[in-house]
Chain A
Amino acid sequence: MPQEKENKNSALVVWDGELVSPGTLWKRGVSFLSPGMLWLFVFLLLPCVILVLVSFAGRGEYGELVWEFGLENYSRLIGFGAFGWTANYLMILWRSVVTALITTVLSVLIAYPLAFFIAARPERTRYFWLTLVIIPFWTNMVIRAYAWFLILAPEFPLAKLAAFLGMIDPGSPLYPGSFAVYLGMVSMFLPFAALPLYASVERLDWELVEAARDLFATGPRVFVKAILPQTLPGLYVGITLTFVPAMGVFVVPDLLGGAKYMLVGNLIRDQFGASRDWAFGSAISISLMAFTLAGIYLFRRKNFDEYKTRKSA
């Protein structure tokens, strides 16, 4: 009997200054985690499972879901249809990737000087500038897109200037088209790129910059060797936060890109809307998600490995 008691005692662990059995600890952990887990289950896991299931279903005559499982939706996405193979959908996907990439690059190129500009302000006015960057966040995307209509309208200076330079016909607006789309996209995603970059720039160790200059480095070499490496964490987050939503965007190309500017976001929207083909829409959604996650995974893994070797060893 005493022995059993001793065994029981040795199984106890000290946790946060308290002697508890692993079972209690386990139960406590589960109860602490359960609200979050429940939330993730209801709002993330469950919808994803439904989406995956639906993506293998079919479309009925009137747009209803038909529960006959198959791979038709996916084969259709990669181009196999009733009339042989076509690259239409793959082209849309490709165009989305390119648009998202260009948007990301443009956003980062603008965000860099912006972050340095804000970080260089005296502390009192810094929050004012930050607020200016954040305000668009609080404004509805559609409203912002319509605001661009106004700015790009034929009566306004931008369009007049373009007409004067012979880039467009006099009296026509600067939309729809790639220019308007990128303008809208960059204005929408700039805060996502600028804020994490700003966080990095604000914590910049300027002594490294001085060291680089002291060691005969000028201009570009100072930036590449002393500033850029310090801002990489913010840059990675900014790229991720810009690229992921830019892949799925549909409001901007819809309003500012015109009928010809079909991105994967619009395609998905059409399947759940006008075409009433939920099954195909789900298949595209799942593919988009898989692509984006794979891209982010590859991108982050490379950086994470670098980070790990720097931290450990």
Chain B
Amino acid sequence: MKKGLRLENINKHFGETQALRDVSLEIHPGEFFTLLGPSGCGKTTLLRIIAGLEFPDTGKTLLGGSDITSLPASKRPVNTVFQSYALFPHLSVFENVAFGLRSRKFPDHEVNRRVKRRLEMLDLEGMETRLPNQLSGGQRQRVALARALVNEPQALLLDEPMSALDAKLRARVQVELRRLQKKLGQTFIMVTHDQNEALTVSDRIAVMRGGRIIQFGPPEHVYDNPISKFVAEFLGAANLIYGKAVNGGLLTDIGFFRLKENPPWSRGAVAIRPEWVRIRDHEPEKNGVRGTVKEVIYRGAYFDILLEPGPLRVRTDTYRRVKVGDQLWLELLPEEFAILND
């Protein structure tokens, strides 16, 4: 099997602050991998180290089995889509896309052929002679993509590629980006602070905080089984329930909940997603809570409901009409709890 990208014990300081702490990571060929985290978590620094725009203090970068740790950006077979796209404002769309090929002294006919093909693929035919400031935001992003992909990089790096697009376009482009990556079968490594985006496009995500990777895995796995409060809350809404571990369950202020396994601590927290909390007509056999509706937020496709005790957050389809003051039975199934280890 072809070897992917491997980071070994990467450390990086900027002056006093440590941007990355002992980060190790393996990214498989053909994978859409996302580095997710709040600003300042080190995700962009990590991407820049992969790109060769920044060098680690200690640690190794391996690509396809060979050590590229000290190779400058201009010598690495990876290309970047920058956050602001960084298109050359004085060069036409064609010349922007051709830039990498011309740097590597490809003959003209070869440049033409490859650029044409990429422009076609990204729906940019007829734009060849336009300058970047004559394009829309979406078109600019596609030029940036074409400019990177035309070099057939071993890994395509995307630094917050959606941040310059409006929300509606963003949702569409995420799906298109995912499709494109599947079609090409190329390794994409993306940085984002938007958990929705990460969940939508990725094969695997790594959640970062304070210069460390704190959890990684397939999006649905990380979403359903967050290992810490931070991951649970960063990846979407979560009910955090604190309590004491008592033979096979958790004793809390709002009742006793059976868990799928014994927690590794005596006092701690579990998390359950609002959409996994079931509303029942009758008292369930176990793990039931009787709650009073305090607030109902209408979201169009669903309701967000806040209940006492708790407050517990519940998400429910709108076919069930709920009003403030209603008394509801809730069931929190053992297998829906994620046991947090902090």
Chain A contacts to B: CB under 8 angstroms: 205, 207-208, 210-218, 221, 225-226, 229, 310-311, 313
Contacts and interface: CB of A to CB of B under 8 A. Distances in A.
B169 interface: no
Contacts of A212: 88, 99, 103
Contacts of B99: 212, 215, 217, 225
B132 to A, nearest CB: 10
B72 interface: yes
A207 B151 CA distance: 19
Contacts of A311: 133
B73 A213 contact: yes
Contact of B86 (A211, A221, A229): A211
Contact of B79 (A214, A226, A310): A214
Interface centre among A217, A229, A311 (most CB of B within 10 A): A217
Interface of B: 51-53, 72-75, 79-80, 82, 84, 86-91, 99-100, 103-104, 131, 133-134, 147, 151
A94 B87 CA distance: 43
A224 to B, nearest CB: 11
A215 B79 contact: yes
Main secondary structure of the interface of A (DSSP, over half): helix
B315 to A, nearest CB: 40
Nearest to A226: B88
Contacts of A313: 131, 134
B142 to A, nearest CB: 16
A296 B90 CA distance: 23
Contacts of B89: 229, 310
A215 B53 contact: no
A86 B133 CA distance: 55
A217 B133 contact: no
Given A215-B151, A226-B88, A210 B103 contact: no
Given A216-B104, A221-B103, A208 B88 contact: yes
B24 to A, nearest CB: 24
A211 B82 contact: yes
B86 A310 contact: no
B88 A210 contact: no
Nearest to A210: B53
A229 B72 CA distance: 23
A239 to B, nearest CB: 18
6 contacts: A207-B82, A210-B82, A212-B103, A229-B88, A310-B90, A310-B131
A216 B151 contact: yes
9 nearest A-B residue pairs (beta carbon): A215-B100, A216-B103, A211-B86, A207-B86, A229-B90, A213-B73, A217-B103, A215-B99, A214-B80
A97 B69 CA distance: 53
Contacts of B75: 216
Given A205-B86, A208-B86, A214 B131 contact: no
B155 to A, nearest CB: 12
Nearest to A232: B90
A212 B87 CA distance: 9
A211 B103 contact: no
Contacts of A225: 88, 91, 99
A104 to B, nearest CB: 23
B88 A211 contact: yes
Interface centre among B52, B79, B86 (most CB of A within 10 A): B86
A229 B104 CA distance: 21
Contacts of B147: 215
A173 B88 CA distance: 51
A221 B98 CA distance: 14
Nearest to A209: B86
Contacts of B100: 215-216
Contacts of A210: 53, 73, 80, 82, 86
Given A211-B88, A213-B53, A216-B100, 13 more contacts: A210-B73, A211-B80, A212-B88, A212-B103, A213-B72, A213-B74, A214-B52, A214-B80, A215-B147, A216-B75, A217-B103, A225-B88, A313-B131
Contacts of B72: 213
Contacts of B134: 313
B67 to A, nearest CB: 19
Interface centre among A205, A214, A313 (most CB of B within 10 A): A214
A218 B86 contact: no
Nearest to A222: B74
A57 to B, nearest CB: 50
A218 B74 contact: yes
Contacts of A218: 74, 103
A152 B301 CA distance: 85
Interface centre among B74, B79, B87, B100 (most CB of A within 10 A): B74
A306 to B, nearest CB: 9
A210 B99 CA distance: 13
A205 B88 CA distance: 10
B241 to A, nearest CB: 45
Contacts of A216: 74-75, 100, 103-104, 151
B161 to A, nearest CB: 14
B68 to A, nearest CB: 14
Nearest to A312: B134
Contact of A310 (B51, B80, B84, B133): B133
A67 B72 CA distance: 74
B87 to A, nearest CB: 8
Contacts of A211: 80, 82, 86-88
